[in-house]
Amino acid sequence: MYVALWKVLPGPLWARILIVVSGALAVLAALVFFLFPWVDRVLTQSVVVAS
Amino acid sequence: MTEHHPDDEPTPDEARSKAPAGDAAIEAAVESIAFHPVFDVIAETVSADETPAGDKATKSKKERRAGATLRTFLLSRGFSRGLGVVGETLITLGVMVMLFLGWQLWINDVIITNESAAVAEENATKWTSSTTPTSTSSEAAVIDFGPAPVMSKVANTKVFGNVYIPRFGDDYIKVAAEGVEAEGTLNRGYFGRYPDSQLPGEAGNFALAVHRSGYGDPFQSAPMLRTGDLIVLQTASGYYEYRVRNTEYVMPSQVEVVNAVPGGANTAVVGQSVMTITTCNPELGNAERLITYAVMVGWRPKDAGPPKEIESMVKA
């Protein structure tokens, strides 16, 4: 999967590394700002007493 | 003596030496699985099920065909690619779970600690009287400031107070807000007031909920509290002083702990003002609730200054 992704990237090595790093950062940002807060809301621990 | 014999046939590894290292490694692994004796057993079982006993020729033919089909499938490029994709997806998901835990227990924890500390400090500045108390501290200790005024109810998620607990350290200042929904109060690391409970200064039970761990760990040290420990609620009008009475571990369904008489009737008894704090137990778990009960023992108006024990904690 990742080998195939690497193969389709254009340009010389430094350009590919640049693309991979910026792509990884974009994914990380999406996780931290959107996915993680959502998962956190879904999985939040209850601390109240309720019937 | 050398290990290399030029007249040997190239091994499968040598034949695939041009393929990327990752693919070769995966294929080698698949090959070792494909030629595992277990497939001979599978092949025998398959043929034994389908063939009448005694038909030796058919059996061995079927056996060979079943074994060959399995091997062809396991050795196919598609299967090894598919296996690679599945493996990489699982690794990616594993990394994402680790990142989430790091975010929730460490990064988000720090962010929420700082955010709620900023709100608490802002409150303390806003609610602390700039006038110096006229009485000396020894006199102040015996002054009765009369009955505590009933705090006016605020809208849902609105901040109404600061909570000081000297037992948890000089820097323990947390925010108290209205409502016990996760969003807006609890997940900001605040104490949240049960909307149906009584208000500070009112006869009955002033009930709060708070996260124990995560979200700034606002009540992580709950088991450290001892009978008689001070809990102060600072509001815009003054300081409500409570002393810890006892703690209790209950099931999450035991809603009677937030009744006007905790564990008893939901009718307030005149002259009895208590505080109930519910948090989760065990730490990081959710199976039970740890309940802390405190009794209101005093009240000081804003201009009288904070109680002596929290003087250094309240930033003027």
Closest CA to A44 of B221, B104, B194: B104
Q: Report chain A's mean pLDDT, rounded to a whole number.
A: 90
φ and ψ at residue A43, rounded to 5 degrees: -95, 5
Averaged pLDDT, B42-47 = 60
- For residue B145, tell me if it sits in a domain: yes
Question: By percentage, how much of chain B surpasses pLDDT 70?
Answer: 80
Of B75, B98, B119, the position where a domain reaches its end is B75
pLDDT tens by residue, B107-127: 999 999 999 999 999 999 999
- Quick check: is B196 in a domain? yes
The answer as to whether B85 is a domain residue is no
Indicate whether B115 and B238 sit together in one domain: yes
Give the model's pLDDT for residue B3: 46
CB contact under 8 A, B183 and A50: no
Residue B89 maps to a domain: no
Any idea what the CATH number is for the domain that residue B204 is in? 2.40.260.10
- Report the pLDDT value the prediction gives residue B57, as an integer from 0 to 100: 57
A7 to chain B: nearest residue by CA?
B20
Among B75, B95, B126, give the residue marking a domain's end: B75
- Domain assignment present for residue B267? The answer is yes
The pLDDT mean for chain B works out to 84
B173-196 pLDDT tens trace: 999 999 998 888 999 999 999 999
Shared domain check, B125 and B233: yes
Asked if the Cβ–Cβ distance from B255 to A41 is below 8 Å, we say no
Which of the four pLDDT bands, split at 50, 70 and 90, describes residue B1?
very low
pLDDT tops 50 at residue B10: no
Q: Band of the pLDDT at B267, cuts 50, 70, 90?
A: very high
Q: Is residue B99 part of a domain?
A: no
pLDDT digits (tens, 9 = 90+) for B235-263: 999 999 999 999 999 999 999 999 999 99
Residue B90: is its pLDDT beyond 70? yes
Q: How confident is the model at residue B23 (pLDDT cuts 50, 70, 90)?
A: low
How many structural domains comprise chain B? 2
Residue B46 has a pLDDT of 57
Residues B185 and B238 in one domain: yes
- Taking only residues 3 to 42 of chain A, the set having a beta carbon closer than 8 angstroms to any beta carbon of chain B reads 3, 28, 31-32, 36, 39-41
| Interface residues of chain B, partner chain A, Cβ below 8 Å | 20, 22-23, 84-85, 88-89, 96, 99-100, 103-104, 107-108, 180, 182-183, 186-187, 194, 209-212, 214, 250, 252-255, 257-258, 278-280, 284-286, 289
- In chain A, what percentage of residues exceed pLDDT 70? 98
Please indicate, yes or no, whether residues B203 and B277 belong to a single structural domain of this protein. yes
Residues of A in contact with B82 (CB under 8 A): none
Owning domain of residue B36: 12-75
Same domain, B113 and B51: no
Task: Tell me which residue in A31, A41, A49 faces B289 most closely, judged by beta carbons.
Answer: A49
Helix/strand/coil (H, E, C) string of chain B? CCCCCCCCCCCHHHHCCCCCHHHHHHHHHHHHHHCCCHHHHHHHHHHHHHCCCCCHHHHHHHHHHHHHHHHHHHHCHHHHHHHHHHHHHHHHHHHHHHHHHHHHHHHHHHHHHHHHHHHHHHHHHHHCCCCCCCCCHHHHCCCCCCCCCCCCCCCCCCEEEEEECHHHCCCCEEEEEECCCCCCCHHHCCEEECCCCCCCCCCEEEEEECCCCCCCCCCCCHHHCCCCCEEEEECCCEEEEEEEEEEEEECCCCHHHHCCCCCCCCCCCCCCEEEEEEEEECCCCCCEEEEEEEEEEEEEEHHHCCCHHHCCCCCC
Residue B284 lies in a domain: yes
The reply to whether B134 and B243 lie within a common domain is: yes
- CA of A8 vs chain B CAs: smallest distance (Å): 15
pLDDT confidence of B305, banded at 50, 70, 90? confident
Please check whether residues B119 and B66 belong to one and the same domain: no
Best probe of the A interface among B289, B290, B292, by most A CBs < 10 A, is B289
CB contacts < 8 Å between A and B, how many? 69
Q: pLDDT category, B28, cuts 50, 70, 90?
A: confident
Residue B52 has a pLDDT of: 55
B234 & B295 share domain: yes
In a domain, B4, yes or no: no
